Structure formats: C-alpha cells, structure tokens
C-alpha cells in the first residue's frame, strides 16, 4: 500500500519488482518519475554515475512491466546505466552506501542480487553474454527470455558485432537486444556507425515504410508472372527497402528491427517491448531506443560529460560541491594533466607524434593534445583492440603513436599488444593512467594487472615514475626508445615536485639509488617510492639502516644496481601497487635467483584476490600497502630475519 507521506509512495510500496507487471500506464509514469527523483536525491549525497542512469529510467520500468527477471535474464552493458535496475530490485535502502567500503557496488555484481545475472564494468559484453545464456537455456530445455541492453557508446566495439553476427546466424529465439542510443559514451560518440544511427533517428517513418513496401509487394501476383519479372520484383523490393529503410543493417544480420522509439515515453517503450516480445518467438529482435543522458535533470542534459560521474552535489542549485582547499597551498597537478601537457609540449617539436584514445579524451588528458593538434589526435570510441592495432599501423609507417588508455581497459587489447605491436617490435607508446588501486569503481577498474600482463611480452619497455617530473621524462624515453613502451602512473595528484625544462629522456633500464643503507634494501616502484623513503627515515630512528632504490624500469630491470645493493644488505623488500603474481616483486625474485643471490625477501604487493570498491586509502591499508602498515610489516620482517 502506498504511503502518502513518503516522497516516493509508489516506489516504497513495491515489495517485489514483479508487482510492476500489473501496473497501469499511469502507474508506470509515476514510478518512473519517482525513480528519477530518487536517483537525483541519492546520488547528490553519495556521488556516483549520474547522467547515464537518468537516461535509462523509463526503459527499466518498462522492462520490469513485461519481464520477470527472477526467471528472464537481462545483461546490462556498461553497468553504470543500471541504477534504476538496482533500485527496483530491493536495493533502494542501500543507496546511501553506494560505492562506499562494503557498500552497494556502482556496477552489477552476481553475488549482490539474484537479479544481477552478469557483472559489468567494461563495455560491449552484453550481447555475447546474453546470447550464451540463451543457448544454455535452449540446451537445458528451459523457457525464458534473454535480453541484452547495450548502448552508451558500446556499439562502437567489434565485440558487439561479433555477438550480433552469431545471434543472427543461430536465429536465436526469445532473444532481444535493446540499443540504448544516447549519442554518447563518456565523451561524445564517434565513428561512421554513430552517423548511421543518427540517420535511423532522422528516418522516423521506418515502420510505416517497411509495412507499406511489404504490403505492396505481397499484393503482386508473382505466381502469374514470368521468373524474370518475379525476380525483378523481388530485387525491387530489396532495393527499395534498402533505399528507404536504414535499419536493414540489423535485419541483414538476422534481426527483426523495431524502432526508433522515444525511450523517455514509458508507455511507448512498453508497447514496443510488447511487440518485441511477440516477434522474439520467431527469432532475434533488436529494439532501438532513443534516450538522452541526464534526462530529467537539466544541468546533466546540458553537460552530460561533466555529470557522467560526479561527487556529491547541490541538487537544487545544480552545482557540484567542490572540496575546500587552502588557497595558500595549491594542490599539485594531477598525473593526467602533467601527461597531457607534456605530450603537447613534445608534439610541438615533432610532427610524427600522434595521440590515440578509446572514448576517454578528457579522462586521459588527451583532450589537451586534441585541441593543439586536432589532425594528429584520434578518439576511436570504445574499441581498445582497434586503437592498439591502429597505432601499430601508424608506427609501421614511421609515426610515433601514443595510446592513452586506462590500465584496466588495455586488458581488452592484450592480443593486439602482443601480436601486432610487440612481436613486430613497433615503437608504440602506451600511457596507462589509473594504475594501481582506483577506489569506488571496484575490481573491474583497479589497474592492478598491467605489470603482470605486459612483463611477459617480448621487446616491450615497462616503467613507472616516482613523481610527475619523472613521468614527463619517461614519456620522452618511450617515444624515442625505438621499441614498444608502456608507462603506468596512478590516478590523482602528483607530489608537487619541480617540472624540469626541457624534458629529457632517461637511460633505458637504469634505476636510481636514493638512499644508502646496509640492513634493508627497499626496492620500490612508481607510487611506492615516496612511501619507501619515508619508511626508511622512520626506521633509521630505530637504528635500522635502509637503502632505497627507485627501480624506474620493470623491463629491462636494472639488475646490476639491484644485485649490487642486495649484496650489501641483509634482506630485501620490494614495494609496488600491483598484483603480486608475476609483478615487480616477482621479477626481482627471479633475477636474484638467476644470479644465485640468496637473501630474505619480503614482497609488498596486492595479494592474489579481488580488491573491492571503497576509499583508496582504506583499500591500501587493507592490502598492507599504506605507509603505516608497510612500516610495521617491514619492521617485523627485519626483526624476524
């Protein structure tokens, strides 16, 4: 029963989402309005992905009106459009904990709810996953619908079309793909496919023309005509349909196309889903829904990029709440901005430098390079595989491409890094932002595996800077080393060090001794160098003498420097913000073993388990990598040897 005193009376009355199956058109509209209002209020307090979720409210309500997702299966692509799904499946009261430590995940998680049938953090996975579910259903002789909701830029990825191709070939029944077409990924969507979808959107008479064409052709008594005339009539049907009906791309792939539909008209969307439900009985269906990121909240509509992922904000004023800083102590620049500015600086003197990103111009800092050199900057959309091989092609013809891709997203292009770049020893630079523990986005977004998955590849040079000045130097090193190279660096601000001019390259494979000592060798990489120096200073006050090395390079590693100081010290500690298996500490252990150097070794890294979402500082502490915990671990290790 509705509670009239609640700001969300209909939403709060839901004991289970199955009740929505019986809602009237008026109730569907009211429910959508309440879900949207709740998202605005809740996310304004916690922060989170915002504009994408506002765009899927009516679609989600309509889906729950027609399907029972305890039985039917739904896979949401790019999980940051699934807050309405979470709200309607019993998790509304947990939204104050959204993306917080041990709180509600910002993405779908199979272990969080029986309604989350497939986890999503990266993009373009939904069609393949839902098709797999559909075939498992058929093999097990079950009877339920399987639905993939894709969009928010995900249709630019080749994997989406691989799934469409297979689904059409299999003539999968009770299988529905919903294209949530909002003209966006995070940055504005790019590519000829987006232009094609825009053409469909302008062709609002798709259904009318298709039905008229089919009716006219069927009215021709083909059986009374010669084979030649009948063939010509059939050819005319196909030609005319191709001329007038842009949605035939999907029909040629074996799908029955429905749309475009106004995705913010809940009842129109509901009617389209009812039609799709009938047509799914005969084979796969693609429903094309037009939505707007940020719909229902004008600031987000006007600037969907700014409001894609937000911190807490003043919902009434439409202003994101800024963290108060002491103007007398300005924050150091972010690693992202230092990278972007350095690339522009180097690009002014070298016309062969090219920037490439996969739908993350602003997030990687490459927007600065695009403004300076629009003809030498390419946003390829959510298509990391293409980005890497596109870069390989540029490098093969003498250019110096820089792929600026988050650490976690380069995993999507691993085969291309191995096959197209490293095996051919092509000088492509990979700038891996968000390396290490990222925080609120959780295990799909932490950049923990890059050292492990890149270290094994031939020809690659792999490095990590201790500060923002060293980042600039490593970028130049990568550009002119003549081999594949990757530099990984964390999210957030640098240390505030002086940025040396001009930018100079580092000698490849050479580390740096920062402090001498004879008890412990602290061999640190990247963001762990500064904590290592602080720990060495603290332990020195207790009479424990620590040498500190800034490794700089994981491959080729400065084995001569490490071996020399390992021989002078009683024990060795490696420090890195990455996974322990196959990481930097493993590389040091292998090198020492090969050289016959036996010393007690403590490897400080992320253990072989998932790191969930939460505040990065707290997660580092739990992983034993915060400065305080590291100091205690190292002190105890030394006392035990």
The set of catalytic residues is 293, 384, 412
Q: Find where tokens 């429910």 sit.
A: 31
Q: At what angle do helices 584-594 and 559-568 cross, to 10 degrees?
A: 70
Cβ partners under 8 Å of residue 33, min gap 6 = none
3-state secondary structure labels for all residues of 567-598: HHCCEEEEEEEEECCCCHHHHHHHHHHHCCCC
- Order of all β-strands in the sheet with 520-524: 512-515, 546-550, 520-524, 571-579, 601-606
H or E element, residue 179: strand 175-181
Written as six digits, the tokens of 77 are: 């692509």
Supply the DSSP symbol for 130. H
Task: Give CB contacts under 8 A, 24+ apart, made by 562-566.
Answer: 562/511, 562/521, 562/523, 562/588, 562/591, 562/592, 563/591, 563/592, 563/595, 563/597, 565/513, 565/521, 566/521, 566/592, 566/597, 566/599
The rounded distance, in Å, linking the Cα atoms of 233 and 213 is 12
Q: Is 195 helix (H, G, I), strand (E, B) or coil?
A: helix
Cα distance between residue 160 and residue 168, in whole Å: 12
Q: Comparing C-alpha atoms, which of 149, 144, 66, 80 is closest to residue 108?
A: 80
Strands 309-310, 256-262: pairing kind: unpaired
Strand-pairing partners, residue 403, are 356, 430
> Are 152 and 182 contacting, i.e. CB atoms less than 8 angstroms apart?
yes
Tell me the C-alpha to C-alpha distance, in Å, between residue 548 and each of 42, 58, 519, 578, 596: 46, 57, 11, 19, 22
Provide the 10 A C-beta neighbour count for residue 229: 12
| 270 contacts: CB under 8 Å, gap ≥ 6 | 25, 28, 62, 65, 66
Cβ–Cβ under 8 Å, residues 513 and 539: no
Under a CB-based contact definition with an 8 Å cutoff, are residues 574 and 602 in contact?
Answer: yes
């Amino acid at each position: 029963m509705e509670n009239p005193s609640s700001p969300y009376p209909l939403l709060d009355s839901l004991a289970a989402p199955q009740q929505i199956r019986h809602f009237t058109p008026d109730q569907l509209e009211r429910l959508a309005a309440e879900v949207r209002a709740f998202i605005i209020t809740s996310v304004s307090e916690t922060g989170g992905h915002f504009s994408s979720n506002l765009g899927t409210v009516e679609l989600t309500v309509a889906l729950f009106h027609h399907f029972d997702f305890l039985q039917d299966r739904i896979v949401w692509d790019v999980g940051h459009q699934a807050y309405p799904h979470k709200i309607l499946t019993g998790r509304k009261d947990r939204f104050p904990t959204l993306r917080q430590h041990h709180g509600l995940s910002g993405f779908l998680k199979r272990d969080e709810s029986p309604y989350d049938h497939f986890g999503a953090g990266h993009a373009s996975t939904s069609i393949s996953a839902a098709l797999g579910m559909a075939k498992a259903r058929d093999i097990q002789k079950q009877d339920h619908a399987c639905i993939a909701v894709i969009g928010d830029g995900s249709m630019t990825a080749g994997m989406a079309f691989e799934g469409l191709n297979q689904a059409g070939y299999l003539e999968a029944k009770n299988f529905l793909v919903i294209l949530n077409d909002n003209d966006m990924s995070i940055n504005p969507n790019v590519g000829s496919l987006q232009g094609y979808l825009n053409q469909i959107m302008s062709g609002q008479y798709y259904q009318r023309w298709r039905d008229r064409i089919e009716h006219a052709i069927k009215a021709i008594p083909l059986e009374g005509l010669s084979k030649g005339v009948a063939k010509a009539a059939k050819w005319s049907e196909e030609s005319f349909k191709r001329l007038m009906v842009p949605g035939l791309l999907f029909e040629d792939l074996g799908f029955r196309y429905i749309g475009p539909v106004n995705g913010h008209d809940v009842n129109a969307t509901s009617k389209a889903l009812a039609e799709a439900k009938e047509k799914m009985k005969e084979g796969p269906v693609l429903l094309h829904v037009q939505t707007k990121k940020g719909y229902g909240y004008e600031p987000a509509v006007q600037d969907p990029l700014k409001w894609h992922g937000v911190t807490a904000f003043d919902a009434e004023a439409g202003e994101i709440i800024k963290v108060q800083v002491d103007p007398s102590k300005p924050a150091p620049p972010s690693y992202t901005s230092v990278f972007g500015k350095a690339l522009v600086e180097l690009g002014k003197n070298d016309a062969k430098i090219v920037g490439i990103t996969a739908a993350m111009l602003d997030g990687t800092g490459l927007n600065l390079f695009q403004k300076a050199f629009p003809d030498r900057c390419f946003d390829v959309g959510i298509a990391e595989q293409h980005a890497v091989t596109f870069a390989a092609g540029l490098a093969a013809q003498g250019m110096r491409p820089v792929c600026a891709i988050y650490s976690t997203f380069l995993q999507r292009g691993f085969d291309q890094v191995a096959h197209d770049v490293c095996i051919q020893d092509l000088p492509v630079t990979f700038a891996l932002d968000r390396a290490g523990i990222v925080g609120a986005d959780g295990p799909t977004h932490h950049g923990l595996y890059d050292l492990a998955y890149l270290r094994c590849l031939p020809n690659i040079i792999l490095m990590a800077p201790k500060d923002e000045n060293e980042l600039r130097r490593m970028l130049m090193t990568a550009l002119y080393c003549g081999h594949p190279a990757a530099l990984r660096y964390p999210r957030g601000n640098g240390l505030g060090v002086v940025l040396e001019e001009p930018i100079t390259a580092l000698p490849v494979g050479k580390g740096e001794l920062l402090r001498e000592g004879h008890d412990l060798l602290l061999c640190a990489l990247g963001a762990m160098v500064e904590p290592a120096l602080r720990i060495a200073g603290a332990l020195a006050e207790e009479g424990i003498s620590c040498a500190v090395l800034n490794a700089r390079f994981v491959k080729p590693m400065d084995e001569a420097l490490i071996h020399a100081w390992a021989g002078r010290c009683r024990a060795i500690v490696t420090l890195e913000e990455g996974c322990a298996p196959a990481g930097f500490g493993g590389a040091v252990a292998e090198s020492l073993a090969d050289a016959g150097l036996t010393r007690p070794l403590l490897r400080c890294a992320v253990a072989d388990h998932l790191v969930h979402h939460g505040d990065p500082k707290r997660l580092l502490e739990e992983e034993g990598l915060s400065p305080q915990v590291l100091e205690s671990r190292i002190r105890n290790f030394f006392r035990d040897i």
